[in-house]
Structure 1
Amino acid sequence: MLEIQKITDLSALATLKQQYFSRTSAPLDGMWQFGFIPIAEHFAFVEKQHIVGYCCVNEESYMLQFYLSPTAKTNAKDLFTLIVQQNSSEIGPVEGAFVSTAEPAYLSLCLDNSSSVSVNSFMYQHAKHAAKSSDDAIELQLATKMMHKSLVDFAVETIGAPTQWLSDYYGNLISRKELWYYQKDQQVLATGECRTNDQYQTNTADLGMIVAKAYRGKGIAREVLKFLVSISTQKGLLPICSTESTNIAAQKAIAKADLVSNHRIIKVDFEVI
């Protein structure tokens, strides 16, 4: 008999999460996997006191990940259907899911129970061919502790993210030497992130950038990405990134930086019978 238990120590799921990543058809988006998922509520699937799977659900009641080991006695389709039909008192209501097309098993289960499906984001990875040189190439500087406040202020003003969250986030990137910036005449015009992962997808580098509103459309985003691609590939890492399906400008800049999109992050709303 399977039991569902809420779990707070995510290290107990390390082996299962490693199995999960090994079954994907392409690298998963880093911000979703290492930003959003760790702060979601996790639930373990337990058979005879052994954890054989898990799922996680965010505060909006959308599932972000689902996995059941092939060694489990429980049928994955039956368990998934039970959860999304609101029949788990431990998990509670599940309105829908976010899933990438690189997660075939999880995607299939979501589609089996869907009432509507829409594309949330495009996932990109480097095309693995020589990037074209550009006369507009810019050189970014590696962020230091002295630049911490200036870069946080820049990001808060540009994207409106919470100051404390950005302060902690940028502080961690700076300590890991994964945050870069571009400035002109002592004014920060862009930041670039090249995030690496210590436990899963260790062969990838997640790229991210912010460009000042007044300087968008001038090719800076493209050149920031090209710079980040260059330092990633020099380290033997595969550059990956993502952007919202509605952000046409970002999609154009990413394409010009020799990154291609073969996968999507899908938003699925469930049909409750």
Structure 2
Amino acid sequence: MEKLAALFKPFTKAKFRFIHWVLLLYIFFIPLWPKIPFKDVEYTYINIRYEDIFLGFLAFLFVIEIIRGKARIFKNPYLPWIVLYWVVVFIAFIYGHFVTKTVPVFNIGLLHSLRRVEYMFPFFVFFALVENARQFRIYAISIFLALFGVIIYAFGQKFIGWPAYLTMNPVFSTGIPLLLKYESRIASTFGGHYDLGAFLVLLIPSTLAMFAAGKKKYGLLFFLSLLVLVYTASRTSFISYVVSATALLFFLRKWKMSVVIIFISAVMMLFTRDLTDRFMKTFSVRQILV
């Protein structure tokens, strides 16, 4: 009993409420849960997934917190600009459906517009409900643990044959477990390699910043994350990583480290044929007869 109390002591000190536990579960659930559909939308290839249900539950709890006066949403300086963006999204959808007819199916356009809100909504929840430094530290550590889980599954998918649940076409999005070939671009627990690449691009600079701050154990997490990014063979994500990592190290005035990181990144790219081949295909010389 004492060990159990000691385990929960950091959360008690951080003054966790029920919604804070839900946020903690959200950090692990969204990146680690396979993209298996909960229900398909008739006459479309769009699926409602379990993470959509989870976010709906989180939104319900968040509204209750606002009513109780526990959430400081209106103190968010980004609120007016993001709400303006949402308004523009829905105006574009309505105009495209009723005027220009470029959005032929109303339900599909509506769902795509709502998903823009869904993707950005958690930012407001965390901004409003992270109330002290202890909570922030718990959530930050949890994000890195979730990243480690994504990495483990990615290597299992690459070398052991763990299944992929992709959403890149109507057939795959039905939740069929796929066994990827060795030369295939890995997606880990995400619906596609581009989604995985975007996730890694957001977190790799964070691991690099922690390593630069003297947290040596984050060096291994950075290296493994970079290797998984290379295995996605996503050119856009890799370029984004190089730009963001270099800018971060320049901002921190870590000149020598920036040279080392760029060198390691180049070597890893050259030793993995998939990404190298894709970069080579970007620039090609062809003879054109006139």
TM-score (norm 1): 0.26
Q: Which has the higher contact order (CA 8 A, sep 6+)?
A: 1
Structure exhibiting the larger radius of gyration computed from Cα positions: 2
TM-score (norm 2): 0.25
More helix by share: 2
More strand by share: 1
